[in-house]
Structure 1
Amino acid sequence: MAAPIEDYALLSNLSTGPLISRRGSVDWLCLPRFDSASIFGALLGSEEHGRWLLAPSQPDAVVVDRHYLASTFVLETTWQTSSGQVRITDFMPVEEGRSSLVRRVTGVSGTVGLHQELRIRPRYGSVLPWVSRSRESGADLLLAMAGPDAWSLRGRHLPQPHHHLHAGEFVVAAGENVDFELEWFPSYRQVPPALDVDTALDNAVHYWTRWGGHCRQDGPYGGAVKRSLLVLRALTHYETGGIVAAPTTSLPEDFGGSRNWDYRYCWLRDAALTLESMLTHGYESEALKWRNWLLRAIAGDPEDIQIMYGIAGERDLPEKELGHLPGYQDARPVRIGNAAVSQYQADVVGEVMVALERLRLAGGKEDHFSWALQYALLGFVEKHFDDKDFGLWEMRGRAQYFTHSRVMMWAAFDCGVRAVRDHGLQGPLEHWKELRERLRTEIMEQGFNRELNSFTQTYGGTEVDAALLALPQVGFLAYADERMLGTVSRLEKELLTDDGLLLRYRTETGVDGLKPGEHPFLACSFWLVEQYARTERWTDARILMDKLVGFSNELGLLSEEYAVKEERMAGNFPQAFSHLALVRAADAMHGVDRLSLAVTETA
């Protein structure tokens, strides 16, 4: 059975992200990309669906330390046994074009027996590959093959075949290193040459340390901010610049339930928010790369814009269910692809426009392509001015007028106005002002309930939604505006759990078209921290922030949601949105200027 979500560590080579459990089992690995089919799928089933276990064989073995080396994704796990101590170093080489996972066993003291078990199961655990033993350059290797894909395992103590798996035992003495490298390559090509593990390890440490060293961060949450930015980098493809929402699919939002989604794709919203965070913390070149991914992904007829794309900008992401997988601790169905790709979400253009306006404020220059595309996007928003949508949370119920979506449409035109007025770009200034004002009037008339002194989730409704916390973030009104404070008061009454965490919305209303039940979405609580800090509710902000940061595992990783009573993480992991929201909240706590958009003069 899969381990608790919080027991997993993430590795990265800026192309994919395996998860390794605290007990030394690689239970999730998709090669060569985040969105490739898994070869290790025990995370969503059992060991029969693929895994790579490497751990001491003694029953008294315990993990006494597990950490990343400094600002890296090089994982060190130290085991203590009655006969000695051993350290396992797991990492992915960052050499361009190489897709491999390296596991080094180092004897620290005494002698320790190790057990290794390898089950390669391509196509999400549905295929049994052909495995053979061969010799390359004077060394033994295992070679597995299935259709277009092949995998090689190199090492001194290769496991032996045992009933459709490979297993083996070996002993490591103090001062001894035993290395293994599992590498993917196309089956129609030759086996790649052996890796120099020492050099690859040095290169990986150097890359991540150098990247993390550019991070501008301070204050009591500086460490959490740095690790969050590193996670965002780890979830970004080195070549395309696309950032996946998470490296996993179908980790449940409700244990045993059906709220299981594939997050291994690139949401425009996440990319835009990542751009903002990178700008704030000293990564201008990365911000420009993310901007270029955004522009390439949405290039073409604005009518064809999607809310998400594949890592390289692919558009076809059909959703299907994998019936052969029982799911994470029996949470069914397991899904690949995401049907939300076809939804109209009216907020997305606003998210993109806000991010690109902040890039302009930071000194980023527009070119003939980037501004022309934004101009066209505003035309798309105008064309769909009266259309209902499915909202930020990708509701699978009926389309409605979601207040947050309408505010983000307002923000899109606001950014267009600013682009012309403040940056000298060409556009119909007065027309965009008119559309912006029409939206503001409409939102205040239909999205704000005067009797409740609160904005509402949908026009004419009475329910609230944590997404409303974004209103001051984009300059629609001030954080301390009485109408915003009234909304916060209702959020606290309606959506704050007994444990002090904020739900997205009340699922029992049926607004999302799914069975009720989910745990608090961590990003929402981080948004509440930001709101508290910006209105100088420092005690409330600090208490909530400390609680949220405390939900991170010992490696600083966060999932999508947290089940407080069960004291465990829920949802896909690690989740970019959670780490993005952590950075925003910490910036508010530190008083960091995020190049925020001032409240417009029409407020």
Structure 2
Amino acid sequence: MAGTVTQSSLELFPIGNCQVSALVDERAGFVWGCVPRVDGDPVFCSLLNGDKVDEGVWRFELEGQVSSSQHYERNTPILVTRLEAEDGSAVEITDFAPRYEGSGRMYRPVAFIRIVRPVAGAPRLRVRLAPLYGYGSAEATTTNGTNHIRYQLGDQTMRLSTDAPVGYVLEGRSYRVEADQHFFLGPDEPFVGNIRSEIRRMEANTRKYWQHWVRGLHIPLEWQEETIRAAITLKLCQHEETGAIVAALTTSIPEAAGSERNWDYRYCWIRDSYYTVQALNRLGALDVLEKYLAYLRNIIDKARGGQIQPLYSVMGEAELHESFAENLAGYRGMGPVRVGNAAYKQVQYDCYGQIVMPTAQAFFDTRLLRMADETDFAHLEEVGEAAWAKHDKPDAGLWEFRTRQEVHTYSAVMCWAACDRLANVAARLGKGDRVRYWKDRAEAIRAKIEENAWSEEGDHYGASFESDYLDASLLQMVELRYLAPDDERFLKTFAAVERDLRRGDHMLRYAAEDDFGAPETAFNVCTFWLIEALHLTGRSSEARDLFCAMLSHTTKSGLMSEDLDYETGELWGNFPQTYSLVGIINSVGLLSKPWSDVR
């Protein structure tokens, strides 16, 4: 098993600290990891490097390895990988990125920690640390001292501090591991203190931080482990410095084999982030909401009543020019590998509702450290005015069509939601005139939707005002409180969506051809929307069965990507996908038995 070339897969375990992250494969290899943040240069990029599995990787290779197993420490993103050899020898590798409070701030450096522990026999190990830079275009140059190696990665340098034999690491030689060894790959500065004791302290503090964070979650009775793992991973997708939440930790994992539907998801979509904070808020994770609201305030300030983009960088940068990383072959050789995302140029008018709705909570929730005030309301009204102005205008829609625009029903409903929630906020602030103002606008948008989105011929809502084709986002009309689950029009639309888009246990986002042809895979969050709709319309037993079927498709890490081949069950698309993890949390919230059942 050791040294063999294996096909890349999404059997990956994320680690991170809300500053940097890495994806660890089944052989204890860091196969994806960017510095100095999630949208930075992937110094570990073998996931997208075709068959060059030994380049852009950090791996511990056990001589004679025959098996491996992995698990997270309970209620943490601290990963333990056990490698076993044919002679019975074994090592355990503990991986994490340090995160804990100290000196009045959160310690979350651009750093990764690995601890190797011999646990059986006399294991012989080879350390393969081969970072690349420039999106796979060049190897790092190295210099070293007695207990460290410096890796020059273009204009940035990382330093490995270790109590392992530096010469063996540099030369890639195997050696016998007779005691625990510690590896700290981080900033180019001397490691202060005894590396063994300091890393053990960081390990204990990081474990304590995450276990205490999880302890503060309000989780349902059933599927607790699945809910906790999804929540931890969603938090890892937040960039602590600004509060931005990325859609996924990767770029260019194709939606289907050879489809060229390869997108860079390491950015903050207003839509995806809305769903993420909504799900975590249901679990009581207010820290994520608070940080994200600060990010939104900065976005609103910059817009000043102007166009809100669908996505921004984690630092709030607006221009995300799309290019190709020519030196990376792609996942399983399926390029292109994209850097940046041209969707930033699109108009997607659903984003106005997705700004107003999470921000509205800040006017009501007295738990928040910073509640919203009248100044915030004035700025939020500017967003509402944009929603009113655009509710019946063509856009690219939530599925981000690149070659056509229509007035999408989902976008119009989101604009309605923006005005509806502004009326609620105005009532909270005692502004009777603004209550009526925003209610009138919400009612006007509703009238426009009913007139243009309902198809008398099809007897259902259409995905757009111009046509009566269907898409799964129509199932969100209940979640957004536009319709009640027993509304006759919703029931008819649900029946039509299920008939046209359901494929066995899975749901397409739409069946019509788009810019790249007909979709070939199911969109996982849409299947979770189906589960929610089944439950809300009285088919709860079927919803539970379908939910359990979806959980059977999660990786060994308990996570999901964006897409799934509904014939083979293989996961595709960027990983881990926030949308899909939101679907797990929301479905558990609806389907779980109540705590009163055990009290």
TM-score of the two chains, using structure 2 as the length reference: 0.91
Does the 8 A contact of 2:322 with 2:338 survive in 1?
yes
Which letter does structure 2 place at the counterpart of 1:530?
E
Of 414-423 and 242-251, deviating more is 414-423
- 2:130 aligned with 1:119, yes or no? yes
SS in 2 for 1:106: strand
Of 119-128 and 293-302, deviating more is 293-302
- Report deviation, 1:277: 2.2
**Could you list the per-position Cα deviations for residues 156-180 of structure 1 after superposition, in whole angstroms to 9, with x for gaps in the alignment?**
3346589xx851212224xx21112
Which letter does structure 2 place at the counterpart of 1:86?
V
Which letter does structure 2 place at the counterpart of 1:262?
D
Q: Which consecutive unaligned segments of at least 5 residues does structure 1 have?
A: 594-603
Matches within 5 A, 1:505-544: 505-506=510-511, 509-510=512-513, 512-544=514-546
**Could you list the per-position Cα deviations for residues 194-220 of structure 1 after superposition, in whole angstroms to 9, with x for gaps in the alignment?**
651111111111111111111111232
Correspondent of 1:445 among 445, 448, 451: 451
Matches within 5 A, 1:175-214: 176-185=179-188, 190-193=189-192, 195=195, 196-214=198-216
- 2:109 aligned with 1:98, yes or no? yes
Does the 8 A contact of 1:321 with 1:333 survive in 2?
yes
- 2:472 aligned with 1:470, yes or no? no
Does the 8 A contact of 2:8 with 2:47 survive in 1?
no
When residues 591 and 355 of structure 1 are mapped into structure 2, their CA distance, relative to the original with a 3 A threshold, is farther
- Report deviation, 1:571: 0.5
Q: Which residue of 2 aligns with 1:335?
A: 338
Correspondent of 2:354 among 351, 355, 361: 351
2: CA distance, partners of 1:85 / 1:425:
68
SS in 1 for 2:138: coil
Does the 8 A contact of 1:375 with 1:427 survive in 2?
no
- Report deviation, 1:121: 0.6
CA root-mean-square deviation: 2.2
Matches within 5 A, 1:388-537: 388-425=394-431, 428-497=434-503, 499-506=504-511, 509-510=512-513, 512-537=514-539
- Report deviation, 1:192: 4.8
Does the 8 A contact of 2:96 with 2:112 survive in 1?
yes
- Report deviation, 1:391: 0.6
- Report deviation, 1:399: 1.0
Which letter does structure 2 place at the counterpart of 1:457?
A
Q: Which residue of 2 aligns with 1:599?
A: none
1: CA distance, partners of 2:123 / 2:434:
73
Correspondent of 1:169 among 174, 177, 201: 174
Matches within 5 A, 1:357-376: 357-363=360-366, 365-376=371-382
2: CA distance, partners of 1:482 / 1:158:
71
**Could you list the per-position Cα deviations for residues 265-304 of structure 1 after superposition, in whole angstroms to 9, with x for gaps in the alignment?**
1111222222222322122343222212211123232214
2: CA distance, partners of 1:352 / 1:592:
31
When residues 401 and 158 of structure 1 are mapped into structure 2, their CA distance, relative to the original with a 3 A threshold, is farther
Does the 8 A contact of 1:245 with 1:265 survive in 2?
yes
Which letter does structure 1 place at the counterpart of 2:225?
G
- Report deviation, 1:2: 6.6
2: CA distance, partners of 1:167 / 1:118:
8
Correspondent of 1:141 among 123, 143, 148: 148
Q: Which residue of 2 aligns with 1:577?
A: 579
2: CA distance, partners of 1:283 / 1:328:
34
2: CA distance, partners of 1:436 / 1:591:
36
1: CA distance, partners of 2:91 / 2:431:
61
Does the 8 A contact of 1:84 with 1:112 survive in 2?
yes
Does the 8 A contact of 2:310 with 2:348 survive in 1?
yes
1: CA distance, partners of 2:258 / 2:99:
37
Correspondent of 2:93 among 88, 96, 114: 88
- Report deviation, 1:241: 1.4
- 2:153 aligned with 1:154, yes or no? no
When residues 470 and 243 of structure 1 are mapped into structure 2, their CA distance, relative to the original with a 3 A threshold, is same
Which letter does structure 1 place at the counterpart of 2:481?
G
Q: Which residue of 2 aligns with 1:600?
A: none
Does the 8 A contact of 2:419 with 2:439 survive in 1?
yes
Which letter does structure 1 place at the counterpart of 2:39?
D
SS in 1 for 2:117: strand
Which letter does structure 2 place at the counterpart of 1:143?
R
Does the 8 A contact of 1:2 with 1:27 survive in 2?
no
1: CA distance, partners of 2:431 / 2:171:
63
Which letter does structure 1 place at the counterpart of 2:460?
S
2: CA distance, partners of 1:366 / 1:88:
46
- Report deviation, 1:55: 2.9
- Report deviation, 1:11: 0.4
Which letter does structure 1 place at the counterpart of 2:23?
L
Does the 8 A contact of 1:275 with 1:291 survive in 2?
no
Q: Which residue of 1 aligns with 2:79?
A: 75
When residues 281 and 252 of structure 1 are mapped into structure 2, their CA distance, relative to the original with a 3 A threshold, is same
2: CA distance, partners of 1:305 / 1:426:
28
Which letter does structure 1 place at the counterpart of 2:592?
H
Of 545-554 and 36-45, deviating more is 545-554
When residues 158 and 467 of structure 1 are mapped into structure 2, their CA distance, relative to the original with a 3 A threshold, is farther
2: CA distance, partners of 1:359 / 1:36:
32
Which letter does structure 2 place at the counterpart of 1:106?
R
Q: Which residue of 2 aligns with 1:51?
A: 57
Does the 8 A contact of 1:159 with 1:169 survive in 2?
no
- Report deviation, 1:431: 3.2
TM-score of the two chains, using structure 1 as the length reference: 0.91
**Could you list the per-position Cα deviations for residues 463-510 of structure 1 after superposition, in whole angstroms to 9, with x for gaps in the alignment?**
11001111111111101211111111111111111x32000001xx33
When residues 361 and 223 of structure 1 are mapped into structure 2, their CA distance, relative to the original with a 3 A threshold, is farther
**Paired residue total:** 575
When residues 283 and 342 of structure 1 are mapped into structure 2, their CA distance, relative to the original with a 3 A threshold, is same
Of 567-576 and 77-86, deviating more is 77-86
Q: Which residue of 2 aligns with 1:381?
A: 387
Q: Which residue of 2 aligns with 1:39?
A: 43
1: CA distance, partners of 2:535 / 2:223:
14
Which letter does structure 2 place at the counterpart of 1:331?
M
- Report deviation, 1:150: 0.5
- Report deviation, 1:92: 1.1
- Report deviation, 1:433: 2.5
Q: Which consecutive unaligned segments of at least 5 residues does structure 2 have?
A: 101-106
Q: Which residue of 2 aligns with 1:597?
A: none
Of 249-258 and 349-358, deviating more is 349-358
Correspondent of 2:590 among 588, 591, 594: 588
- Report deviation, 1:591: 7.6
1: CA distance, partners of 2:403 / 2:545:
35
Q: What percent of counterpart residues are identical?
A: 28
- 2:324 aligned with 1:318, yes or no? no
Does the 8 A contact of 1:302 with 1:377 survive in 2?
yes
- Report deviation, 1:131: 1.0
When residues 277 and 425 of structure 1 are mapped into structure 2, their CA distance, relative to the original with a 3 A threshold, is farther
Correspondent of 1:248 among 247, 250, 254: 250
Which letter does structure 2 place at the counterpart of 1:89?
T
When residues 588 and 423 of structure 1 are mapped into structure 2, their CA distance, relative to the original with a 3 A threshold, is farther
2: CA distance, partners of 1:519 / 1:266:
24
Q: Which residue of 2 aligns with 1:110?
A: 121
Does the 8 A contact of 1:41 with 1:121 survive in 2?
yes
- Report deviation, 1:422: 4.4
Q: Which residue of 1 aligns with 2:25?
A: 21
Q: Which residue of 2 aligns with 1:238?
A: 240
